[in-house]
Amino acid sequence: MDHFDYRDGVLHAEDVPLPAIAQAVGTPVYVYARATLTRHARVFRDALAILPRVKIAFAVKSNPNLAVLRVLAAEGYGADVVSGGELERALAAGMAADGIVFSGVGKTEAEMRRALEAGIGQFNLESEEEGLELAALAASMGTVAPAALRVNPDVDAGTHGKISTGKAENKFGVPFDRAGAIYARLAETPGIAMRGLALHIGSQLAKLEPLEQAFTKVGGLMRAIRAGGHAVTHMDLGGGVGVPYREGEVFPQPADYAAMVERVTRDWDVTLMFEPGRVITGNTGVLVTRVVRVKEGASHPWVVVDAAMNDLARPALYDAWHDFAAVTPDGERFTANIVGPICESSDTFAMARDIDRVTRGDLAVFRTAGAYGATMANTYNSRPLVPEVMVDEGRWAVVADRIDPATILAAERVPDFLKG
Catalytic residues: 343
Q: Which sign does the torsion angle of CA 226, 228, 231, 235 carry?
A: negative
According to DSSP, the residues that pair with 274 across neighbouring strands are 56
For residue 304, the surrounding DSSP H or E stretch is: strand 302-305
Q: Is 174 within 8 Å of 116 (Cβ atoms)?
A: no
**Contact in structure between 85 and 302 (CB atoms under 8 Å):** no
Calculate ∠ Cα 262-264-265, nearest 5°: 65
Task: Please state, in angstroms and rounded to a whole number, the distance separating the CA atoms of residues 239 and 278.
Answer: 9
> What is the dihedral angle through the alpha carbons of 277, 377, 90, 62, rounded to the nearest 10 degrees?
0
Cβ atoms within 10 Å of 180's Cβ, excluding its own: 20
**Is residue 145 classed as helix, strand or coil in its secondary structure?**
strand
- In three-state form (DSSP H/G/I as H, E/B as E, the rest C), the secondary structure along 321-375 is CCCEEECCCCCCEEEEEEECCCCCCCCEEEEEEEEECCCCCCEEEECCCCCCCHH
- Cα separations in angstroms, 39 against 46, 66, 72: 10, 18, 11
187 contacts: CB under 8 Å, gap ≥ 6 = 194, 230, 231
Distance CA 116, CA 51 (A): 29
Q: 170: helix, coil or strand?
A: coil
